[in-house]
Amino acid sequence: MDQHDQLATINKRTGRNMPQAIATGALLVAIILACLAIRIDAFVMLIVLFMILGLWELRIDFATVGLHIPVAALWVCSSATMLATYYAPWHFAAMSIGVMATIVVALPCSTARLSFGTRVPMAVARKLSAADAAIRLESSFNHDDEPPRASRLANVGVTLLTILYLEVLACYLIFPLTFGGHPMAHAIMSVFLPALSDTGGLFFGAAFGRHKLSPRISPKKSYEGLAGSMLFAMAGAFAIFACTYDAPMWASRWWMPVVLGVTVGVVGTYGDLCASMIKRDLGIKDMGHLLKGHGGVLDRVDSILMCAPLIALLLYVSGL
C-alpha cells in the first residue's frame, strides 16, 4: 500500500481530512496560546468571537429546516453576558443576570419573522445544495427543496436551546479565569483537556476501535476511543498540574488529574454525541465550514463547551 492509499485509509477511518485537520488544529492552538501570552483579556475576546461565529453557524443550520433564531439579539446579549462574567465584581451573579436578560430579550424576538437582505437565504441554499442526500433522509424534518416554516413556539424552543448551549456553556469557559490565582492554567485546562480527549479518542478509535459506542448517532465512536479520550485527558491534566502547582498542592490534590481525565473523557464524548445527534436530526454533516478538516466552529468546540461547567465546578470546589 503506497502513501496515498494509507492516507486515504486513515481519512476514511477518522471521518475527516487528516492533513487539513492537523494544520487547522495547529493554527488554532497557536492563536489560543498567543492570546494567553498577550493577556487573559485577549483570550476572553477570542471566546466571544468564537461564540459569535458559532451563533451564525446555528442560524444557518436551523434555517435549513425552517427554524429561526434572532441572531442579532443573541450576538449583543450573549457578548454582554460573557464580558460581564469576566469584568463584573460579582462574576457568577453577573452571568446569571445576563443569561436571564438574554432570555427576556431573545425569546420575544424569535417570534418575529424579519428578514434583511439575502445573505441567510443564500447561505441556506449553499448548505442544502452541498448536503448529502442520505444524511438529509435521516432528518426529522421536511425533505423538500424549500425548507418548511416552523411555528413560533418551535422558534422560541430552539432559541432557548441556543442560549443554553452557547451562551451559558461559553460563560463557564470564562468563569474559571476569575478565581484561584492561576487564570492561564485554568484556561488551558478548559480548552486543551477536551481537545486532548478528542485527539485521544480519534487516534485510539482509528487504531483499535472495534466495539461501537453509539452506531446510530455516531458510527465512528467506539469504546476503545473512549478509553483513549480518558487517557489523553488524564495525561494532559498531569502535565498542566506539574507545570502549575507546588509540592504541597500536589500532596493534597494528587487525585484531581485522575478525576479530570476520566470525567472530561466521558463528558467530552457525550458532548460529541449530542452535537452529532443535533446534526443528524437537522440532516447535515457539519455545523459549518470555517475550519478546514473540522467543519465549523461548533464542530470543534462541542466537547469543550460540554466540559466547561464540569471543569469549572471541579476547579472551584477543590480550591485550585
Among all chains, which residue has been given the C-alpha cell 468563569? 175
Is residue 13 assigned to a domain? no
Q: In terms of C-beta distances under 8 Å and separation of at least 24 residues, what long-range contacts does 99-104 make, across chains too?
A: 99/163, 99/167, 99/168, 99/171, 101/77, 102/74, 102/77, 102/78, 102/163, 102/167, 103/160, 103/163
Residue 157: its pLDDT value, please? 92
Is residue 128 assigned to a domain? yes
Q: What is the pLDDT along the chain (320 residues), one digit of tens a residue?
A: 555 555 455 545 545 556 666 777 778 888 998 999 999 999 999 999 999 999 998 888 888 888 889 999 999 999 999 999 999 999 999 999 999 999 999 999 988 866 666 677 777 767 666 665 566 666 666 555 555 566 788 899 999 999 999 999 999 999 999 998 899 999 999 999 998 888 888 888 777 767 777 777 777 777 888 888 899 999 999 999 988 888 888 778 888 999 999 999 999 888 888 888 887 777 777 776 666 555 678 877 888 999 999 999 999 998 87
Is residue 1 assigned to a domain? no
Is residue 156 assigned to a domain? yes
Residue 175 contacts residue 169 (beta carbons within 8 Å): no
Q: Which helix (H) or strand (E) covers residue 213, if one does?
A: strand 212-214
Is residue 144 assigned to a domain? yes
35's grid cell = 492570546
Residue 216: its pLDDT value, please? 72
Residue 100: its pLDDT value, please? 96
Residue type present at position 64: T
Number of domains comprising the chain: 2
Residue 174 contacts residue 85 (beta carbons within 8 Å): yes
Q: Which helix (H) or strand (E) covers residue 219, if one does?
A: strand 218-222
Residue 204 contacts residue 269 (beta carbons within 8 Å): no
Is residue 49 assigned to a domain? yes
Residue 28: its pLDDT value, please? 84
Neighbours of 288 (CB within 10 A): 22
Is residue 20 assigned to a domain? no
The answer to whether residues 217 and 287 belong to one domain is: yes
Calpha distance 159→153 (Å, rounded): 10
Reduced to 3 states (helix: H, G, I; strand: E, B; else coil), residue 239 is helix
Residue type present at position 271: G
Range of the domain at 150: 39-178
Residue 204 contacts residue 229 (beta carbons within 8 Å): yes
82's grid cell = 460573557
Distances (CA, A) of 202 to 16, 31, 196, 284, 302: 10, 22, 10, 21, 15
The answer to whether residues 133 and 199 belong to one domain is: no
The answer to whether residues 292 and 171 belong to one domain is: no
Residue 208 contacts residue 13 (beta carbons within 8 Å): no
SS (HEC) of 176-207: HHHCCCCHHHHHHHHHHHHHHHHHHHHHHHHH
Residue 282: its pLDDT value, please? 79
* Exposure letters 158-193 (e unless 16+ CB within 10 A, then b): bbbebbebbbbbbbbbbbbbbbeebbebbbbbbbbb
The answer to whether residues 127 and 232 belong to one domain is: no
Residue 308: its pLDDT value, please? 94
